[in-house]
Amino acid sequence: MLDIKFVRENPELVKENIKKKFQDDKLVLVDEVLQLDLENREIKKELQALQADKNCIAKEIGKLMGQGKKDEAEEAKQKVAQFAGRLDELAAREKVVEEDLRKRMMIIPNIIDPSVPIGKDDSENVEVERFGEPVVPDFEVPYHTEIMERLNGIDLDAAGRVAGNGFYYLMGDVARLHSAVLSYARDFMIGRGFTYCVPPFMIRSAVVDGVMSFAEMDAMMYKIEGEDLYLIGTSEHSMIGKFINTINPEEELPYTLTSYSPCFRKEKGAHGIEERGVYRIHQFEKQEMIVVCKPEDSPAWFDKLWQNTVDFFRTLDIPVRTLECCSGDLADLKIKSVDVEAWSPRQKKYFEVGSCSNLGDAQARRLGIRVKSKDGRKYLAHTLNNTCVAPPRMLIAFLENNLQADGSVRIPEALRPYLGGQAVIEAK
């Protein structure tokens, strides 16, 4: 959410930013916000003046009564009563105006970074850099579920009977591999200086409103019936929510946290959810990273975060590339985002395995995450997040890139300690 003062002083810049995101239907919001803001300030001005007059007359009533001027005191009391009625009327209107103003401000997209390429959707995202040499083996690479089935590692039919499409049972060595990857990711991020955390897996609506747009929430979040709780779609939401309504000493920043959690997503409108596979599913697990820092430090942290994911995948011998998200592909709270994509030997192309985002002060403004400098000045923090790894989707890239001609799967050196020293998973 933008600062109302910024919108007031830069309406054309805000409108231009909306156009860059190809959301022209939101242009009207800027003028509506300006009108509501003007009305809100006029209401506050009148409230302040009326309250001052009311207080002044109220003081006079006592004096008049002491002087025996009862008629004049009664007239003053009537004026006070009239002021009170108008004050109540203005206070009620103020509440409505502020709510309408906030609703519109929540929908206006954040100002994107000048470096973001302009484009309508993800088809216009821009490749930045490749890491590792993509290889296509001289044998056929099966569909990922077929690889898992040959390892006796997945049961989608049973999951369908138990929970429906978009769920899975991981079994045996594949389930163990799944857990090993998460344990390795945890230690990898701790080694990068991040503090490990296991957060709540449910969050209140106030946190949901603070960390994401309504469109994202509607497409992602599962609501707990009868309670003010939502299942998290990513631990970033719970982790950023940890700092709601806090004032954080500047000398303690940055906060660098890495978290494990299950994630639950409706995947509303997703294509291919009925296909056999674990690419787009309703339930998965993830190792995430978040940073809360000073505004001037967020660009450097953004580069560190996506580099962590690249380095993690390269230790598992998986070629990856980074992709700069264009303006039309950025969620409304984000000012800049880079996707990390892994190489798929079967498809002979890259696919997304992680996303790194700088949200500027948008989440901090919604959630009240402030920083206090040594001189007492308070300002909003910047927040960032990034996926380290999210199996079982990540397992698709892992299995395809480490598959051998005989159907076995090689275990890279970095992961072997988490599998009891096992170097190969044999086909059953």
Segment 15-24, tens digit of pLDDT: 999 999 999 9
Residues contacting residue 80 through CB under 8 Å, at least 6 positions apart: 54, 57, 58, 61
Superfamily designation of domain 122-425: Bira Bifunctional Protein; Domain 2 (3.30.930.10)
Domains of the chain, residue spans: 4-107, 122-425
Structure-block tokens of residue 294: 């000073």
pLDDT tens digits, one per residue of 204-220: 999 999 998 767 777 78
98, 170, 263, 330, 406 from 388: Cα distances, Å? 39, 21, 14, 19, 30
What percent of the chain is predicted at pLDDT more than 90?
Answer: 83
Cβ atoms of 422 and 163 within 8 Å: the answer is no
Instruction: Please provide residue 318's backbone torsions phi and psi, each rounded to the nearest 5 degrees.
Output: -110, 115
pLDDT at 229: 95
What is the H or E stretch that residue 409 is in? strand 409-410
Q: Catalytic site residue 265?
A: yes
Radius of gyration of the chain (CA): 28
pLDDT at 274: 46
Residue 388: is it exposed, middle or buried by C-beta count within 10 angstroms (0-12/13-18/19+)? buried
Indicate the CATH number for domain 4-107: 1.10.287.40
Cβ atoms of 213 and 281 within 8 Å: the answer is no
Query: Where does 258-361 have alpha helices with state H?
Result: 298-315
pLDDT at 220: 85
pLDDT tens digits, one per residue of 124-170: 999 999 999 999 999 999 999 999 999 999 999 999 999 999 999 99
Q: Catalytic site residue 352?
A: yes
Distance, in Å, from the CA atom of 14 to the CA atom of 7, rounded to the nearest integer, reads: 7
pLDDT at 270: 53
Buried b or exposed e, range 97-111, using 16+ CB within 10 angstroms: bbebbbebbbbbbbb
Rounded to an integer, the average pLDDT of 161-185 is: 96
pLDDT at residue 269 above 80?
no
What percent of the chain is predicted at pLDDT more than 70?
Answer: 93
Q: How confident is the model at residue 64 (pLDDT cuts 50, 70, 90)?
A: low
Distance, in Å, from the CA atom of 184 to the CA atom of 389, rounded to the nearest integer, reads: 10
**Where is average pLDDT lowest: 7-21, 172-186, 208-222?**
208-222
pLDDT tens digits, one per residue of 304-349: 999 999 999 999 999 999 999 999 999 999 999 999 999 999 999 9
Distance, in Å, from the CA atom of 73 to the CA atom of 197, rounded to the nearest integer, reads: 65
Distance, in Å, from the CA atom of 409 to the CA atom of 419, rounded to the nearest integer, reads: 13
Q: Which of 352, 370, 408, 416 is catalytic?
A: 352
Q: Which of 213, 337, 344, 355 is catalytic?
A: 355
Residues contacting residue 160 through CB under 8 Å, at least 6 positions apart: 167
Cβ atoms of 345 and 132 within 8 Å: the answer is no
Q: How confident is the model at residue 57 (pLDDT cuts 50, 70, 90)?
A: confident
pLDDT tens digits, one per residue of 108-128: 999 999 999 999 999 999 999
Extended strands (E) in 110-223: 126-131, 154-155, 169-170, 195-197, 202-203, 222-223
Structure-block tokens of residue 410: 């090689």
Rounded to an integer, the average pLDDT of 366-370 is: 97
Query: Where does 67-111 have alpha helices with state H?
Result: 70-107
Q: Catalytic site residue 130?
A: no
Q: Catalytic site residue 102?
A: no
